[in-house]
Structure 1
Amino acid sequence: MKHILFSAAMALLSPAVAAARSADAFTHVAGNVYYFQNGSYNSLVVATDEGTVVVDPNGRTARKLRDNLSALTDQPVTHLIFSHSHGDHASGGEAYGDVEAIAHSNAPPKLGGVDLDVQFDQNHSFQLGYNTIELTYLGPGDEEDMIATVVRPENVVFLVDVAAPERMFYTSLGGDNVEDWYQQILTAEALDFDIFVPGHGRVGNHGDLTNVKLYMEELRTDVLAGLKAGKSANKLVNELTYPERSHWQQYDAWRPSNVRGMAEYLINSGAVD
């Protein structure tokens, strides 16, 4: 394994060069666990002595990850995991050749350009080197085949699109069933993990997921109370500013859409009647 060499090389770079390279680079999380960032997208990498696991080899990232993998390990990619079937994450699998591809049973049999070898209903786990990879179905919500990946013994969760540390929900909540989305968050929160690596955004911890849950609860409660009081969505956008979350990623861009999206969902679901 080349973990020590890679870390030492990065330490010798100037801050400017290191920052530039980190935009398309591996970042160490814990033990054998890394993530590879390409723009706003993260792919999880578990580099063991018996092979490498990649989660979400999206097309924007897959070949860059493959071409730079020697910075971490001389072991090839042996397992691909797809968190869900959205095209921006489930693409690029063909870059890795003959691997074991894994996804939920609700995913199509071919995903990311490869045929799936394993599809499971609720839970699936496997051992590679000293690492255990645990996959858990999160239920319907933001896509019908969404899973969470937990890597042990590092106790790292990789959770995509459902939540991200200190990051607003994507625009207007995507027209999803918010109650199902909330249940996905609860299912993920019940998992045993310490470190939270999201599909987009910065790394956090278990408490960050709880904080996202609390934001969804607060948003739903506040918007529902406002609608029942006869307030319009535009008025609620002006009133529900959540200044304690003003440092969250995409606060200015997505907070108004979060309020409008929640209002639309609550009206359409009949919750306001």
Structure 2
Amino acid sequence: MAEYTPVPEFAKGPDIPDSGYLVTELGGGAYGISSGMVNTMFLVTKRGVVVVDAPPDLDERLLAGIEEVTSNPITHLIYSHAHADHIGSAHLLVRNGLKIIAHEATAEFIQESHDDHRPLPNETFSGTRTELKIDGELLVLEYKGDWHQPGNLFIHLPEQRILTAIDSFTVKNAPFFRLLFAPHVPAYFTAMDDMLEYDFDTVVSGHMSLFGTPEDVATNREYIQDLRTSAAEALGEVDLRQAAADAGVPSDNRQAQLKVWMDAVVARAAEHMPESWDQRLGGNDIFLADNLNAVAWSVFID
């Protein structure tokens, strides 16, 4: 059985009740809701509710959590991006008059997916920015590049001082699965800089049960910079042909040569990573090789 470094207490987050969800007041009529594996937020306005995403891991419990707070109807649903793990229960929220809002790139992806659980948005925008004024509440939607998926949005509530950046990072935990499947690693690094330019107190990042702070964003930025530094050092130290020869790879099996070389680069880079990250972020031991692999390839080819 595999052994894992214990998750630090500060990275675990609150316990989830038997109901399967936990609602957290974020201020100014905004609430976070989590199943423990995913989280998102909603905003109660004078006449309705604006919801960001509808994760399947919450399913109908998202509705229960909203009803726990208000009897107002859901009037707006904003898609942060198109991935099913965040909007795969959107069909449960559909009612007459519901406005589903997304970037046009997200709409195109959903249309191609042919997934009835992800209804097409009926309001889209192109370009990089749009502002929504809903019952006097301001929400700013910005598309600053494909740091996770085409159409991924930063959703800023300036009055509530909340930034919703789903799948940007994992609060108080290491990013999982290759920087959360970042399609272009330099864009992911830029996104961390972009996030810190917003004026916010709370960040909703989409996974686990914790809502973060600007300090959490800065910590993730520091972590990925250490990944890049360690990967660059390892790439300068590990020779492809020598690594292949040490592993006994035949000279005509170039696929295997690449594989053992990058495995050796990742292993060397892991040695360069500060050991303190095991105490500063949960899950570092679990996802370190994944993240270093993504960053090392980026340093090598980007």
TM range (shorter): 0.7 to 0.9
**Residue correspondence of structure 1 range 1-273 to structure 2 within 5 A:** 20-21=17-18, 23-96=20-93, 97-98=95-96, 99-109=98-108, 110=110, 112-120=117-125, 121-173=127-179, 174=181, 176-201=183-208, 202-230=210-238, 232-244=265-277, 246-267=279-300, 269=301
Over 3 Å counting, the alpha-carbon distance change for 1:64 and 1:19 in structure 2 is: closer
Q: Which has the higher strand share?
A: 1
**C-alpha offsets along residues 186-240 of structure 1, whole Å, 9 cap, x if unaligned?**
2222222121121013112112212212222221122112211237322222342
Q: What's the C-alpha RMSD, in Å, of the aligned pairs?
A: 2.2
AA paired with 2:168? Answer: V
AA paired with 1:203? Answer: F
1:237–1:260 Cα contact (<8 Å) kept: no
**C-alpha offsets along residues 228-257 of structure 1, whole Å, 9 cap, x if unaligned?**
123732222234244145231222211232
Which has the greater radius of gyration? Answer: 2
Over 3 Å counting, the alpha-carbon distance change for 1:182 and 1:46 in structure 2 is: same
Runs (4 or more) in structure 1 with deviation over 3 Å come to: 109-112
AA paired with 2:106? Answer: A
**C-alpha offsets along residues 138-173 of structure 1, whole Å, 9 cap, x if unaligned?**
311311111011123111111111223222121233
Give 3-state SS (helix, strand or coil) of 1:237's partner: helix
In 2, Cα distance between equivalents of 1:233 and 1:71: 47
Q: Which runs of 5+ in 2 are unaligned?
A: 1-14, 112-116, 239-263
Q: Which runs of 5+ in 1 are unaligned?
A: 1-17
2:140–2:156 Cα contact (<8 Å) kept: yes
- What is the aligned residue count? 252
AA paired with 1:243? Answer: S
Over 3 Å counting, the alpha-carbon distance change for 1:216 and 1:164 in structure 2 is: same
1:138–1:188 Cα contact (<8 Å) kept: no
In 2, Cα distance between equivalents of 1:195 and 1:245: 24
TM-score under structure 1 normalisation?
0.84
User: What displacement does 1:175 show?
Assistant: 6.1
The sequence identity of aligned pairs, in percent, is 20
TM-score under structure 2 normalisation?
0.76
